[in-house]
Amino acid sequence: MEGRTIGAGALEVGAVGLGCMPMSWAYTGSQQRGDTSMRTVHAALDAAGADGPGVTLLDTADMYGPFTNELLIGRVLKERRAEAFVSTKCGLLVGEQHIVANGRPGYVKRACDASLRRLQTETIDLYQLHRADPEVPIEETWGAMAELVAAGKVRALGLCAVGARARRRGAPGRPGAGLHDLTIRQLDRVQQVFPVSAVEAELSVWSPEALDVLLPWCVARGVGFLAAMPLGNGFLTGTLTPGQGFEPDDLRARHPRFTAEMMAANQPLVVGLRRVAERHGATPAQVALAWVLAQGRHVVPIPGAKRERWAVENAGAAGLRLTAADLAEIAALPAALGSWD
The reported pLDDT for the residue numbered 313 is 96
Domain assignment present for residue 258? The answer is no
Domain assignment present for residue 240? The answer is no
Q: Would you mind telling me the total number of residues written for the chain in this entry?
A: 341
Domain assignment present for residue 282? The answer is no
Q: How do 224-228 and 299-301 pair as beta strands?
A: parallel
The reported pLDDT for the residue numbered 161 is 83
Widest CA span of the chain, in angstroms?
54
Report how far residue 75's alpha carbon sits from residue 77's, in angstroms, rounded to the nearest whole number.
6
Q: Residue 169 belongs to a domain with what CATH number?
A: 3.20.20.100
The reported pLDDT for the residue numbered 167 is 43
User: What are the residue numbers of the active site?
Assistant: 64
The reported pLDDT for the residue numbered 175 is 31
Report how far residue 168's alpha carbon sits from residue 138's, in angstroms, rounded to the nearest whole number.
26
Strand blocks (E) in 171-326: 198-202, 224-228, 299-301
The reported pLDDT for the residue numbered 38 is 94
Report how far residue 249's alpha carbon sits from residue 145's, in angstroms, rounded to the nearest whole number.
32
Instruction: Provide the domain count of the chain.
Output: 1
The reported pLDDT for the residue numbered 27 is 60
Instruction: Give this prediction's pTM.
Output: 0.93
Domain assignment present for residue 275? The answer is no
Domain assignment present for residue 126? The answer is yes
Domain assignment present for residue 267? The answer is no
Domain assignment present for residue 327? The answer is no
**CB 102 within 8 Å of CB 62:** no
Taking only the tens of pLDDT, the chain with its 341 residues reads 678 998 877 899 999 999 999 998 766 555 566 789 999 999 999 996 544 457 999 999 999 999 999 999 999 999 999 999 999 999 999 887 788 999 999 999 999 999 999 999 999 999 999 999 999 999 999 999 999 999 999 999 999 986 555 444 334 433 333 446 778 999 999 999 999 999 999 999 999 999 999 999 999 999 999 999 999 999 999 999 988 888 887 888 888 899 999 999 999 999 999 999 999 999 999 999 999 999 999 999 999 999 999 999 999 999 999 999 999 999 999 999 987 65
**CB 52 within 8 Å of CB 318:** no
Domain assignment present for residue 200? The answer is yes
| Containing structural domain, residue 153 | 3-231+293-321
